[in-house]
């Protein structure tokens, strides 16, 4: 039977230590400043993240104003506004301690309706809107992840592992389809993650040569040709383990093209979209890094509910109890 390497108190201490270390190290590595962020936004602003384009946000009415607000899915679009408002310059960025509710998430060992992540965004120059700069940034983030493993091992020697390779491997969704045409996208990710240990899966959102997409991405924040996921192989569950989705964001041309490809040209009239198309908002790179995912990975937990407090189906709680998994 599974047995956690840390008891409940040690788990909470390790979560706090990891989050504090990772946050400060990431900020220093990418030149980011922490800012306060909203938990909810007005839908008519177009600022909420549509994720795969189908998830329903949690909405509620505000008595005083009569308006309806939405709990954020992520802050991918809001951050771009904030960079302009705060007066950041090229090479500077921000990060937030983002909390969200994703009501349509299918809960399992890796997924919860509660999401906590470091949402970050950084201003770049037109000359930096390329694959080389994207990969440079991915390597910087992976170094922070790699160093976090060693930091936590010093505090809790029982967590010492050799899970992470020294370098991350870059591979595109098209390359995976070419190599494993008979596998599903998730099976391809698992196969590649197990082979290399850590991958950055590039080009998510657009159609592959087969006419299918690897995975959905909203058309109005990532440039589908300059984005990707950081995916690790997780031996505890023998599965691919996504810890970050990120990318260079759409510029005016890419925004309009991807909205047309997605059949959503009407979004171009929303304030956020107009700001990108007009060039009012800065060019950026950004992403989200899952806090609970990192904690689960480095604390070698079997279920994400061991590192975050959420609501779970009755059968999930029953199975976890039988398997020796203690949910927070």
- Give me the active site residues, please: 49, 102, 117, 229, 242, 245
Cα 185 from chain centre: 18
CA–CA distance, 265 with 8 (Å, rounded to integer): 50
* Terminal-to-terminal C-alpha distance of the chain: 19
Encoded tokens for 131: 């694959």
* Helix segments in the chain, DSSP class H: 8-30, 78-86, 131-155, 173-179, 185-196, 252-261, 271-277, 291-298, 314-322
CA–CA distance, 306 with 252 (Å, rounded to integer): 42
Work out the angle at residue 187's Cα, subtended by the Cα atoms of residues 181 and 189, and round it to the nearest 5 degrees: 95
- What are the CA-CA distances from residue 112 to residues 239, 245, 290, 297, 303 (Å)? 17, 16, 12, 15, 10
* Strand pairing report for 284-290 and 169-172: unpaired
Contact 62, 34 (CB under 8 A): no
């Amino acid at each position: 039977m599974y047995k956690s390497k840390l008891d409940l108190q040690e788990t909470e201490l390790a979560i706090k230590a990891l989050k504090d270390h990772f946050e400060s190290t990431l900020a220093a590595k990418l030149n980011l400043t922490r800012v306060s962020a909203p938990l909810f936004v007005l839908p008519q602003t177009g600022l909420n993240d549509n994720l795969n384009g189908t998830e329903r946000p949690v909405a509620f009415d505000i008595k005083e104003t009569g308006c309806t607000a939405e709990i954020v899915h992520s802050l991918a679009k809001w951050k771009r506004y904030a960079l302009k408002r705060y007066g950041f310059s090229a090479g500077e960025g921000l990060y937030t301690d983002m909390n969200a509710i994703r009501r349509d998430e299918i809960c399992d060992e890796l997924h919860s309706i509660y999401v906590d992540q470091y949402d970050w965004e950084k201003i770049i120059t037109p000359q930096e809107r390329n694959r080389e700069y994207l990969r440079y940034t991915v390597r910087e983030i992976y170094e922070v992840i790699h160093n976090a493993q060693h930091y936590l091992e010093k505090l809790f020697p029982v967590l010492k592992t050799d899970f992470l390779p020294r370098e991350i491997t870059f591979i595109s969704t098209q390359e995976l389809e070419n190599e494993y045409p008979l596998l599903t996208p998730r099976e391809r990710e698992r196969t590649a993650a197990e082979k290399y240990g850590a991958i950055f899966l590039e080009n998510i959102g657009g159609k592959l040569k087969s006419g299918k997409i690897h995975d959905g991405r909203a058309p109005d924040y990532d440039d589908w040709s300059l984005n990707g996921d950081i995916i690790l192989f997780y031996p505890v569950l023998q599965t691919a383990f996504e810890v970050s989705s990120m990318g260079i964001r759409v510029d005016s041309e890419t925004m309009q093209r991807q909205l047309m490809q997605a059949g959503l040209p009407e979004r171009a009239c929303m304030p956020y979209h107009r700001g990108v198309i007009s060039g009012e908002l800065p060019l950026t790179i950004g992403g989200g890094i899952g806090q609970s995912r990192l904690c689960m990975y480095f604390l070698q937990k079997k279920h994400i509910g061991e590192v975050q407090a959420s609501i779970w189906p009755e059968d999930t709680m029953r199975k976890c109890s039988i398997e020796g998994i203690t949910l927070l």
